[in-house]
A and B are shown apart, each in its own frame.
Chain A
Amino acid sequence: MAEKITNNDIVQEENLVYKKTDLLTDKSLSYCPGCGHGTAHRLVMEVIEELNAQEETIGIAPVGCSVLAYEFMDIDMQQAAHGRAPALATAIKRLYPEKYVFTYQGDGDLAAIGTAETIHACNRGENITIIFVNNGIYGMTGGQMAPTTLPGMKSSTSPYGRDVETMGSPLKMTELVAQLPGTYFVSRQAVHTPSAVRKAKKAIKKAFENQKLKKGLSFVEIVSNCNSGWKMTPNQSNKWMVDNMFPYYPLGDIKVPEE
């Protein structure tokens, strides 16, 4: 019978299984408790670390909850005007074709005010990666209706629920950009469970690796929660997301390059 193993025996460098990547700064994230943004940030940084590409990557932060992404990602970054991130990424990639260039945008930024920049960057087939975090709401400004807000879903500007007759239907940007010849890889993922995180990371990694192929734009949507905006606990919001968001925004690859 072996001696009883203590916690101290386990917590040793040689037994390390998982720790936060060094490419995330030590700054406390500005997101609400339980918000999927933090996980999405981490996955992007883990991928850049695995690609050994800290020096070769330039990121674009949007306007919205992730406006301060540059505070947390230890890479060179630019903060874009609302919705313009794909235009910024376009220019940087054209001027530095060998760098990895990505945008990190929310649904208000990408699917409302930045629709033109998004569609045209996709249509030109810019060799960039777009990470699109869709939580169906404007989080930063206090829970207003977004283009992605579900039918009937309440928000501070659709207090009686989104009425599709007067407010339109949720915009499926990801399906939309998948139609464009300029997109090379389009996928929709989530980060609410361990298996979802693993799949999301695979998609994000592919979306970065694709940049070297120079075959067009890689677009990864991450359907996420906004527990503050939805007025739920984090775990409730993740369940609500599974029950309500996923039927409208089904997970999985939407456009996969032919092998």
Chain B
Amino acid sequence: MKELRLMKGNEAISEAAIRAGVDGYFGYPITPQSEVLEYLMLEKPEERTGMVVLQAESEIAAINMVYAGAGAGKMVMTSSSSPGISLKQEGITYIAGAELPCMILNVVRGGPGLGTIQPAQSDYFQAVKGGGHGDYKLIVLAPASVQEMYDFVELSFDLAFKYRNPVMILSDGAIGQMMEKVEIGEQKVRLTDAQVKEKCPWATTGKDANRERNIITSLDLDSNKQELFNQKLQAKYKEVEANEVRYEEMETEDAEYIFVAYGTSARICQKSIELARAKGIKVGLLRPITLFPFPSKRLMELSKQVKGMLSVEMSAGQMIEDVKLAVECNIPVEHFGRMGGIIPSPGEVVEALEQKFL
């Protein structure tokens, strides 16, 4: 019998983390994601699984705790919302530079600056283009439901450890706060220290006589070596692009137009498809599930079938750049979005489609 619960997206993340056998969560309160830490504190995961949960003094401290835990081979994560994620960028680039696995949840709110506490998708560039300094990439997952918030926790760690790369779940204030039915998975047992040592022979688990010391660092003062390292990173990202693209399509078979939207915007577009099709407009949806790697190949294929694409984002238009790059000017690509914490209505999206293409 499957266990079903009605949960907030933020709570689903926390329950999923406990059940996935995550070893440590380090966070700092910020709206609209504080339920992640609150739920964990309430659940006493140190009793349920031995998971460490710590409220840090800042987002900066929290991400550096994640860096250390990851460097020591443990499954560790943090969560925050946009302004806090900006603070975490220093730690994230170190994590990418030291090739460490971890999960970072961003429950995006409107910006720039302190912005608003309402949902937005204006951190797309920050998430998929690096965010901090240096040539690096995160693997970015974009959940569109509370169930996906739950499911992507384990997926994040699978990908993070497979590629030794930080993974970001790029959610938003709507998915974090809304309640939906969630199917809960089995409780997994946390790895023992001995299992961690075996799984992560590179980690700082204590130097025993059988191996050289392990060093976690992103520093190499020798530019030749640093370039080689960068090439290795780029090769890894190519491998990720080749193997890990995930997306979902709706009603694309006969579509003449395509909405490209992720997360909350994709949910809205589902309704927009209904409205548009009722008017006789053949429109479908491509929902990227991974924002990096981006489903460019599929968009290219679709560009040979459809007349235009509308990138629907709760931003001034960020993902549209990747859509345009993907279709290489085969067809017109337009943007529709609302900003500052406003969620567009399905009708507005259809109007935009009509205005721009019909």
Q: Give the number of residues in A that approach B within 8 Å (Cβ atoms).
A: 34
Can you identify 15 A-B contacts, CB atoms within 8 angstroms? A55-B208, A68-B219, A78-B216, A79-B98, A79-B217, A79-B219, A81-B67, A81-B94, A84-B60, A84-B64, A87-B60, A88-B71, A90-B68, A91-B52, A91-B69
* Chain A residues in 8 Å Cβ range of B65: 87-88, 90-91
Is B213's CB under 8 angstroms from A75's CB?
yes
Most buried by B among A54, A70, A87, A92: A87
Is A78's CB under 8 angstroms from B204's CB?
yes
Contact code string A86-101 (vs B, CB < 8 Å = 1, else 0): 0111111011100100
Report A's interface with B, CB cutoff 8 A: 54-58, 60-61, 67-68, 70, 73-81, 84, 87-92, 94-96, 99, 116-117, 119-120
Q: How far is the CA of A78 from the CA of B100 in the complex (A)?
A: 12
Is A117's CB under 8 angstroms from B68's CB?
no
* Chain B residues in 8 Å Cβ range of A76: 204-207, 213-215
CB-nearest residue of chain A to B210: A55
Task: Kindly identify which residue among A67, A80, A92, A120 contacts B69, using a CB–CB cutoff of 8 Å.
Answer: A92
Does B331 sit at the interface, judged by CB under 8 A?
A: no
Is A70's CB under 8 angstroms from B215's CB?
yes
* Chain B residues in 8 Å Cβ range of A61: 217
* Chain B residues in 8 Å Cβ range of A81: 64, 67, 90-91, 94
Q: How far is the CA of A68 from the CA of B217 in the complex (A)?
A: 10
Is B207's CB under 8 angstroms from A92's CB?
no
* Chain A residues in 8 Å Cβ range of B207: 54-55, 74-76
Chain A min CB distance to B356 (Å): 45
Chain A min CB distance to B277 (Å): 51
* Chain B residues in 8 Å Cβ range of A89: 68
Q: How far is the CA of A61 from the CA of B207 in the complex (A)?
A: 16
Q: How far is the CA of A55 from the CA of B209 in the complex (A)?
A: 8
Does B57 sit at the interface, judged by CB under 8 A?
A: yes
Does B23 sit at the interface, judged by CB under 8 A?
A: yes
Is B216's CB under 8 angstroms from A79's CB?
yes
Q: How far is the CA of A81 from the CA of B62 in the complex (A)?
A: 13
Is B67's CB under 8 angstroms from A88's CB?
yes
* Chain A residues in 8 Å Cβ range of B219: 67-68, 79
* Chain B residues in 8 Å Cβ range of A78: 67-68, 71-72, 204, 215-217
Query: In the complex, which residues 176-223 of chain B have their Cβ closer than 8 Å to any Cβ of chain A?
Result: 193, 204-209, 213-219
Does B335 sit at the interface, judged by CB under 8 A?
A: no
Does B117 sit at the interface, judged by CB under 8 A?
A: no
* Chain A residues in 8 Å Cβ range of B67: 78, 80-81, 84, 88, 91
Chain B min CB distance to A164 (Å): 28
Task: Kindly identify which residue among B58, B68, B94, B214 contacts A92, using a CB–CB cutoff of 8 Å.
Answer: B68
Chain B min CB distance to A103 (Å): 10
Is A87's CB under 8 angstroms from B72's CB?
no
Q: How far is the CA of A78 from the CA of B62 in the complex (A)?
A: 16
Is A99's CB under 8 angstroms from B90's CB?
no
Chain B min CB distance to A31 (Å): 15
Is B61's CB under 8 angstroms from A96's CB?
no
* Chain A residues in 8 Å Cβ range of B64: 80-81, 84, 87-88, 91, 117
Is A95's CB under 8 angstroms from B23's CB?
yes
Does B263 sit at the interface, judged by CB under 8 A?
A: no
Is A91's CB under 8 angstroms from B24's CB?
yes
Chain A min CB distance to B102 (Å): 11
Is A91's CB under 8 angstroms from B76's CB?
yes
New A-B contacts (9) at CB < 8 Å, excluding given A55-B206, A90-B54, A91-B26: A75-B206, A77-B214, A77-B215, A78-B68, A78-B217, A81-B94, A91-B69, A92-B69, A120-B56
CB-nearest residue of chain B to A84: B64
* Chain B residues in 8 Å Cβ range of A77: 204, 213-216
* Chain B residues in 8 Å Cβ range of A79: 98, 215-219
Is B216's CB under 8 angstroms from A95's CB?
no
CB-nearest residue of chain A to B75: A95
Chain A min CB distance to B33 (Å): 20
Q: How far is the CA of A73 from the CA of B65 in the complex (A)?
A: 22
Q: How far is the CA of A215 from the CA of B305 in the complex (A)?
A: 68
Does B168 sit at the interface, judged by CB under 8 A?
A: no
Q: How far is the CA of A77 from the CA of B91 in the complex (A)?
A: 17
A-B pairs with lowest CB-CB distance, top 7: A88-B68, A91-B65, A79-B217, A76-B204, A120-B57, A84-B64, A87-B64
Q: How far is the CA of A79 from the CA of B71 in the complex (A)?
A: 10
Does B66 sit at the interface, judged by CB under 8 A?
A: yes
CB-nearest residue of chain A to B70: A91
Chain A min CB distance to B307 (Å): 49
CB-nearest residue of chain A to B211: A76
